[in-house]
Structure formats: C-alpha cells, structure tokens
Amino acid sequence: MSTPVYATPLHALTDDARVDRDAAMTAVADLLLALGHDPDAGDLVETPRRVADALIEMLSPEPFEMTTFPNDDGYDEAVVVRGVPFVSLCRHHLLPFRGTATIGYLPGDRLVGLSKLARVALHHARGLQVQEAMTMQIARTLETALTPRGVGVVVEAEHLCMSARGVRTATATTVTTAFRGELAHDDALQARLIGARTS
C-alpha cells in the first residue's frame, strides 16, 4: 500500500496582472534619459531590455507544490534547513537585498520534503519585498501547508539600499525572526535557530 503524499500549490505573491515587457523597456529608457543618459548611445542600447528582463525575473515567483507526507514514525524533534541563499528586491528603493534564510519546524502529523523548505524561501524572495514581511510569509506558508507544532524562520540579509547608498554601512546585516506555535515559547530552540546563521 502506497504512502499518501499531498501537494499544495503555492501561488504567486502578486496579482495575476500581466507583465508588459515593452512598456517596461520604454520606462527604463525614459529613466535613463531623465538621469542624463542617452539610451541610444553605444553600449546603453540594450540596457532597457536587460533591466526590464532582470526585473521581470526577480519579480516573478516560481510556483511549486509543497509536497508533504505522513509522519509515520512520529518524528518530534526540530527539522531545520540552514543557510538558504536568496536575493530579493526592496520595495522602497528597488535595490536588491541578499542573504540567507534558516527555516525549521516541529512536525505534527506530516513532514515536508526538505528541498521544499528552501523553495518556500526562494518563492517569497521573488517580488517587491521588505525583509520583515518575507520572514512572516515563509512562516505562514509552512503553518498552512503542514499544521506543524511549531515554525521558526531566521532571515539575515545585507540591504544595498543601506550598504551602497545613504548611510553606506557595507558590513551591516539585518536579522528578522518569526517563531510560531511551540517555538514561540521555547527559548532554547529559538537560540539554536538564531545561532544557525551562516553569513
């Protein structure tokens, strides 16, 4: 008898509005002009296309299915995937922020394929984001798909809107956390997750 496996589709974070690539390229060309650069000059000719395509890629979450399976052996300790690298776009400056996510959960009746923990982070990184919201979205997705006893997410990132402009704190990183269920009240497990940073 086969073991049942359930897959929950994870939909895009944004509306299903169609992307207008041509309009995006025109907007980039207009921006270059407004900043004093001629988009028809030399090596800038392809820049509007390149920028539009890069932004479309970074703003398009890759759908996947959250495959879960029964916890037949009753595993009840934390499952943690550390150091998942990601790049996202700051919704305030349209500059990248990048770092790593550590994602863990305390299983209930179901387990999830380990690669799906990484995919959850990468899915939510695609879009106009703020790190705090992305951290909560990862936790919420795991809660919904698994109904675990607890969820913990730790995200550490460098923000180019801080390191490449403004205050220019090149070595500063930002850490955000989300602890749900039993993990919300377990200081020892929280410390293990927070201490798992790899950057």
Residues placed in the known binding site: 90, 93, 161
Phi, psi of 15 (to 5 degrees): -60, 160
Q: DSSP labels for 141-175? A: HHHHHH--SEEEEEEEEEEHHHHTSTT--TT--EE
Which residue ranges make up the annotated binding site for Zn(2+)? Answer: 90, 93, 161
d(CA 89, CA 92): 9
CA distances from 88 to 30, 52, 61, 164, 166 (A): 24, 16, 11, 15, 19
